[in-house]
Amino acid sequence: MRLKLDTDEDEEISMGPLIDCVFLLLIFFLVATMLKKDDYDIDINPPISESAVKMPPRDDVLVIGIDNEGGFYWQGNATTLNQLHDRLRDVAASQPDRSIRLDVDQQTPFHRVVEVMNACQFRGLKDVGIRTYDKHYNSR
Amino acid sequence: MTNTTIADEIKSQHRGGWFILISLGIHLLIVGAMWQFEFLGVTKLDTQPMEEQPLREIAIERLKEKKERQRTQQLPEEHVQKLVKEEEKHSVRDMVKMVQELQEQNQELEEIRETKLKEITEEPREAVLDRIRQKTNELMKRAVEINKYKKDKTSNEFRQQAVKMNTTARMMVADEQDPRAEERDEWIKNQTQEFKDMANAVLEDKDAKRDEKRHAEELLEMSNALDEDLKSLEGQDQNSNIQQAQQMLADAPQPTEQMSPEQLAQMPPEDLYDRAKALEEKADQTFTDIKTAELSQQQNATLQEARQNLSHTPPQRPEMGKQLAEQKDTLKTREDLKTFRKQLQDTVKKVDEMKVATADKVSQAQGMTKLSKALGNQSPQQQYRARAMMNKFASGSQANVDMSSIMRQMAMGMATSTSAGMGDHRETEGGAGTYSDPDDIAPKNIKGINIPSSKVMAQALPGQKFSKDSARHGWLYLDTWYIIGPWENHGKLDHRDIFPPELSIDFDAEYLGKKQTRGPDKGQPMKLKWQFTQSGRIQVVPPNERSNAVYYAYTEVHFDQNTDMLLAVASDDSSKLWINDLVVWDDKTHSDWRIGEGSRKVFFKKGYNKLLLRLENRGSETEFSVLICPPTFK
């Protein structure tokens, strides 16, 4: 039997799979980028708490670290006490509601923690939390 | 238009199939890479360690080996240059901003230095007279002290002559046009010369005992210092203090070259660091001159004496610029690049530290000019009288003083009107002179202030932030301080020796203090750092309590609006307090801690206010307290 073909139709390459592929790659990179969180972690052994509340990771949290020798860190980078006070003053002036996370070691001298918490409280930064040991996160 | 055959259609479908296959392959590759190797370090999936994962371990081991190879592998020179340039670009961008700020800070300090030294060059005759009175008073006290335990003829003669000199000094006249002025100037000069001759005679006497000679030498040294001020009586052109100020103005270092950001951006990081270091050193030198001038005004001492009282340590910064340049020439591997990057970050951090430290100096220097600005329209004589009055009222001899008006004036940065003089100077029997009640802004005694110690001790609450609407009323004590010390005061409570915290508050600095008296480091100076202290009671005890020691305590308080407050300072033994760089309390007496030692009505500006307290201890124990309360509280 002779088939009747529509000779007027343009010859086209099917783009469907290519678009599929491109979209999948796009979604992958989007998801991968979203997965990447700046954690600003420093090398510490955080204290253990049974009653700590699990919080979802947030990029806008300001991380102040204090290592076991009492050294200060601002967003993961070593800083001095003068700079810490200056920066807290700036943050208090520009973003008084900013959340602050304190990353401290179990061996950190306690007066150092009080010092930073007092500085935050004095500057009017009230949303201050302390990171505790998390089995899931810290066993990475 | 083209014709499509069945074969073409089939071919097209086949091609679509290839695309599906390729995309599936890519997906598999991506998922595999993510799962096993934490692909590109972009994400970290929750991979619970399995008990047996030999393949994973091998893969990790290989990755580590690969990384180690990469780390030690020599990179092509061009590639290294490119990476170095990239790294430097970011650091230079940050450093340019900091160096530019340092340049501006230097310029500001230079202007303040000039203003302060010019103030000294306008020193009135009254300042010289007060210095002479102060020195003859000290000379008399020492001669009396010697005569107390050495009741021989020589020491008695020294005492009599010193008393005579002190009496003449008190009778000296400030007005040069007064005919008595010249006559009395001559008296004091002759009496001082006689005193010096007496001392020289004892020193030359072969039969004089050793302790007689020692005392004569000490008194001669004091009278020589007095002699310097007597020369200044000849007129302003003979005033050695003015001459020294003029010399310092003439020897001023070249104004800091203000390089543009474009020029600075052309410099490599090592040169920017060196420039920042030089700028910090220059700023420190300029600030030392400003502080010397300020001290000279505060203590009514000559510039030379003020400089001697200043314990100054210039900033010590490592030669990081040189290290960076050397390191740059030897970069070969990734590991070298990593170290270089770290060194670059440290260099930027150091420059930032320099900028912060210098900013603090600028802020202090600005504080020192506030009084000058507040008295801007006054004549040099009036300015001098105002300062003398401030010092007098700050001193512990005045129990209750209202200083709020002048503090408000200084905080607002306004000058007083020319019509409002700061009061008339009048001679008294007190030696240094007293001042009648001046205009509205001058400090004045306040009566009826009574601090009920038992009630305050029972009810006072700790605080650092003060609000009008706060539920807490009544007396509040400052419980949170940064404290540093001890430094040596040799048992003297005169607050004359100046230690670094009076120059700048640097919480990261380390200083050398009093010498250790026991332990393995006996004889070695103690290493001092600021320590955070929070007291659970009204009294604050400094760490490392020692006798014959000086401590400094620093804190800040916050007010939500401009407020007048009553301030009660108490200390064991003596203390001095600055609020926003102005001395409001200066008690030099040897006393136990007593809550109601004295009070001041002071002004706190809206926002943050700085408080610096100097604590001096003679005995074994020491403590202090600072309380504040609204003046209306009963």
pLDDT (tens digit per residue) in A78-114: 888 988 998 999 999 999 999 999 999 999 999 999 9
Using the Cβ of A122 and the Cβ atoms of chain B, whether some distance falls under 8 Å is answered with yes
Beta bridge partners of B565: B602
Mutate which of B11, B317, B480 to test chain A, going by most A C-beta atoms within 10 A? Answer: B480
Pairwise CB contact (< 8 Å): B19 & A21? yes
Is A111 within a domain? Answer: yes
Q: What is the pLDDT of residues B492-516, one digit of tens each?
A: 887 878 888 887 788 888 888 988 8
Interface residue A135 vs chain B (CB under 8 A): no
Residues B2-12, mean pLDDT to the nearest whole number = 53
**In chain A, whose CA is at the least distance from the CA of B479?**
A118
Mean of the per-residue pLDDT values of chain B: 81
Instruction: Say which residues have a Cβ less than 8 Å from residue B319's Cβ, sequence separation at least 6.
Output: none
Chain B closest-CA separation from residue A13 CA (Å): 6
What pLDDT digit, counting tens, does each position of B43-55 carry? 454 555 555 557 7
Q: Are B444 and B407 in contact (CB under 8 A)?
A: no
Show the tokens assigned to B359. 């900013």
Higher pLDDT, A4 or B404: B404
Percentage of chain B exceeding pLDDT 70: 87
Residue A37 within a domain: no
Q: Is residue A74 part of a domain?
A: yes
Residue A79 domain flag: yes
- In terms of residue numbers, what domain contains A114? 62-138
Q: Closest Cα partner for B386 from B407, B363, B366, B400? A: B407
| A9 token code pair | 């139709």
Q: Is residue B429 scored above 70 in pLDDT?
A: no
Q: How far apart are the first and last CA of chain A?
A: 68
Q: Which residues contact B111 (CB under 8 A, 6 or more apart)?
A: none
Beta-carbon contacts of residue B311 (< 8 Å; ≥ 6 apart): B487, B497, B498, B499, B500
- Measured in angstroms, the CA of A41 and the nearest CA of chain B are apart by 15
Out of A47-56, B97-106, B247-256, give the one with best mean pLDDT.
Answer: B97-106
Please tell me if residue A114 touches chain B, with a CB cutoff of 8 Å: yes
Q: First-to-last CA distance in chain B?
A: 103
- Please tell me the predicted confidence (pLDDT) of residue B32: 76
Q: For residue B355, give the chain A residue with the closest CA.
A: A83
Number of domains chain A is built from: 1
Could you tell me the pLDDT band of residue B439, with boundaries at 50, 70 and 90? Answer: low
Per DSSP, the three-state class of B564 is: strand
Q: Is the peptide bond before B573 cis (omega within 30 degrees of 0)?
A: yes
41-60 in B: which are within 8 Å (CB) of A?
A: 42-44, 46
Q: Which CATH number does the domain housing residue A129 bear?
A: 3.30.420.270
Residue A6 covered by a domain = no
Residue bearing the bigger pLDDT, B560 or B491: B560
Residues of A in Cβ contact (< 8 Å) with B43:
32, 35-36
Does the bond joining B486 to the residue before it have cis omega, within 30 degrees of 0? Answer: yes
Of B4, B20, B532, the CB nearest to A17: B20
Partner-chain contact B530 A81, CB within 8 Å: yes
Which amino acid is located at B126 in the chain? E
Q: Model confidence over B27-40: pLDDT tens digits? A: 888 777 766 655 44
Locate B225 and state its tokens. 């210092």
Q: Residue B441: pLDDT band by 50, 70, 90 thresholds? A: low
pLDDT at B5: 55
Q: What is the predicted pLDDT for the residue at B532?
A: 95
From chain B, the residues in CB contact with A19 under 8 A are none
Task: Give the pLDDT confidence score for residue A118 in this predicted structure.
Answer: 94
Using CB atoms within 10 A of its CB, is residue B26 exposed (0-12), middle (13-18) or buried (19+)?
A: middle
Closest residue in A to B8 (Cα–Cα) = A11
Residue B149 forms contact with A (CB below 8 Å): no
Return d(Cα B576, Cα B496) in angstroms, integer.
11
User: Any alpha helices (H) in B236-319, and if so which ranges?
Assistant: 240-250, 261-265, 269-299, 303-309
**Predicted local confidence at residue B435, as pLDDT:** 35
Within-domain flag for A57: no
- Asked whether residue A89 is domain-assigned, the answer is yes
For residues B167-171, average pLDDT: 89
Least Cα separation, residue A140 to chain B (angstroms):
8
What lies within 8 Å, CB to CB, of B369 at 6+ separation is: B112, B115, B116
d(CA B403, CA B567) in angstroms, rounded, equals 11
pLDDT tens-digit map of B538-589: 999 998 888 899 999 999 999 999 999 989 999 988 999 998 878 888 888 8
Q: Do A115 and B532 touch (CB under 8 A)?
A: yes
A69 chain-B contacts, CB cut-off 8 A: none
- B19·A18 Cβ contact <8 A: yes
Q: Is the pLDDT of residue B17 over 60?
A: yes
Is residue B356 within 8 A of residue B301, CB to CB? The reply is no
Cα distances from B438 to residues B322, B406, B538, B630, in angstroms, run 59, 12, 36, 25
- Residue A134 covered by a domain: yes
